[in-house]
Amino acid sequence: MTTFIPRGFSFLALQLAIAVAPLLAGPVAVGAPPRPNIVFIFADDWGWGDLSSRGHPWLQTPHLDRLAREGVDFRQFNVLNPVCSPSRTAAMTGMFPARFCVHEHFAPGINVQRGMPDWLDPRAPMLPRFLKQAGYRTGHFGKWHLTNSGATGAPLPAAYGLDESAVFNGPGPQVGLHDIADHAVRFMRSTEGKPFYVNVWLHESHTPHVPTPESMEKWKHLDEQKQVYAAVISDGDKAVGKILDALRELRVEDNTIVIFSSDNGPEWTGGPDRKGRPGRYDTYYSMGQTGGLRGRKRSLFEGGIRVPFLVRWPGHAPAGVINERTVVTAVDLLPTLCAAAGVTLPGDYRGDGENLLAAFRGQAVTRTRPIFWEWRGNKTEPDWWPRLAVRDGDWKLALTYDASRVTLHRLVDDRAEATDVAKENPAIVARLTQLALEWKASLPEKPSPDCISPGGPVTVPSKAKGRPAASAGSLP
């Protein structure tokens, strides 16, 4: 587990550490290769199958298809929770979100009742902070949701290692839903030769759907439901195109890692009573596809947690490769991108991910660590009942908290999780059940009181026992 910062560690000390760390990092050695820029484009509710390069029958994603042609398309990438806030927590910290009691999305007034903090602890290990301390200029544009809008006392993005930000669903300077890429491009132009890291966290394809008139016009030949969803996907794809075009114009595309992914699987498709209104369309128009995977958003089956993952890095990541075998997860981003940037992680950092830089370079890599999930939300049938899941190698087990119900799948043979083989493999079930329950027992019982809005009581609906929350990460 991560080493904790003492409770008396002040935010003034945190800011001082951030300010002086670039001086301590030291200069880059003469003759060393230039450190790559990193652009992390994170879509919202974008399904595994919502790419024309993956054979979607009516969506068109030319800019994402270009990214896939010029890089590696990882077909076995998992996020670590089937909804927004915990998924993003894992991507930024390199740790399972349950270690911070971030179990569902941050929502006004109900976080504490769900055993959650009101924001991610700013002392957590953060990918942007590690890169900033190594001399990178860091930015975040788009969705935040590492707290929720209006949470009293929530830290600004700067407290997490970001030099510049403009967000929605979070504190600080705000950004329009269709202005995210433009802000990111301005940031990239302003870096003045320094390496940069930038989060470009898109709204598409989350509700409410807010397609532009231009995209609606393009898809007017489709039926009503498809028109709205195709327009939304087109708007997201255009944002990706703006980023790619800017990198070429700035003549830095050859030294920039570009990643595209999504925070979870596609939203469920609502009935005619869930149309919303023009300009703010609701789930009736959520037509995302999982590419045949079972489940959707809020499910621990693959349709809720396996999402697109495209990586372009000219001269390093081979172009046009489809990687069906390597298992990559969101907690791998921190160690892998720090390795790509030549950043040595603190000796006391205890993340949950692996450095999979070799996989980015096109090499065959076999994952060595198991993957764990916890889900406390919706438990309806048939796909939302699992509370825990574990994957080790090709095997994935989903189960209830007491393991009275389990389902086992060998994902290389059964990516759709259609055939439960638990009865045929009792030894594997027993081993994975033990792994899952031991992991669950290691999790914190309640969030750090430092991350609760003033006046908010801490209540814990879960009966799980464990150590204190991972309220503080390692600072170099």
Write the CATH number for 439: 3.30.1120.10
Helix (H) or strand (E) holding 372: strand 371-374
- Residue 376 falls within a domain, yes or no? no
- In DSSP terms, 371 is beta-bridged to 391
d(CA 295, CA 299): 6
* Whether residues 112 and 72 fall in one domain: yes
* Whether residues 236 and 281 fall in one domain: yes
404 touches 417 (CB < 8 A): no
Look at strands 276-277 and 280-281 and give their pairing.
antiparallel
* Whether residues 154 and 281 fall in one domain: yes
Length of the chain counted residue by residue: 476
- Residue 341 falls within a domain, yes or no? yes
Full domain range(s) for residue 393:
386-443
d(CA 21, CA 196): 16
Enter the pTM of the model: 0.90
Give the domain-ending residue among 369, 404, 428: 369
* Whether residues 359 and 415 fall in one domain: no
Give the domain-ending residue among 308, 341, 369: 369
Angle between helices 224-249 and 62-69 (to 10 degrees): 50
Number of domains the chain contains: 2
* Whether residues 401 and 282 fall in one domain: no
If one counts every other C-beta atom within 10 angstroms of the C-beta of residue 49, the result is 20
- Residue 11 falls within a domain, yes or no? no
Could you list the pLDDT tens digit for every one of the 476 residues in the chain? 333 333 333 444 444 444 444 433 434 444 567 899 999 999 999 999 999 999 999 999 999 999 999 999 999 999 999 999 999 999 999 999 999 999 999 998 899 999 999 999 999 999 999 999 999 999 999 999 999 988 999 999 999 999 999 999 999 999 999 999 999 999 999 998 899 999 999 999 999 999 999 999 999 999 999 999 999 999 999 999 999 999 999 999 999 999 999 999 999 999 999 999 999 999 999 999 999 999 999 999 999 999 999 999 999 999 999 999 999 999 999 999 999 999 999 999 999 999 999 999 999 999 999 999 999 998 999 999 999 999 999 999 999 999 999 999 999 999 999 999 999 999 999 999 999 999 999 999 999 999 999 865 443 333 333 333 443 332 23
253 touches 243 (CB < 8 A): no
* Whether residues 52 and 179 fall in one domain: yes
Is residue 208 reached through a cis peptide bond, with omega within 30 degrees of 0 on the bond before it? yes
* Whether residues 313 and 421 fall in one domain: no
If one counts every other C-beta atom within 10 angstroms of the C-beta of residue 342, the result is 14
- Residue 6 falls within a domain, yes or no? no
* Whether residues 437 and 314 fall in one domain: no
- Residue 138 falls within a domain, yes or no? yes
* Whether residues 234 and 179 fall in one domain: yes
Q: In this structure, what CATH number is given to the domain that contains residue 289?
A: 3.40.720.10
116 touches 151 (CB < 8 A): no
- Residue 283 falls within a domain, yes or no? yes
* Whether residues 349 and 393 fall in one domain: no
Angle between helices 84-93 and 333-340 (to 10 degrees): 40
> How much is the pLDDT for 423?
98
Q: Give phi and psi for 207, each to the nearest 5.
A: -80, 155
- Residue 120 falls within a domain, yes or no? yes
Q: Which two tokens stand for residue 253?
A: 């595309």
Give the domain-ending residue among 369, 395, 416: 369
Q: Give phi and psi for 357, each to the nearest 5.
A: -60, -35
- Residue 19 falls within a domain, yes or no? no
* Whether residues 324 and 414 fall in one domain: no
Q: Give phi and psi for 171, each to the nearest 5.
A: -85, 165
* Whether residues 243 and 353 fall in one domain: yes
According to DSSP, residue 157 is labeled G
Give, in order, the Cα–Cα distances in Å from 332 to each of 96, 253, 351, 354, 356. Answer: 11, 23, 9, 5, 7
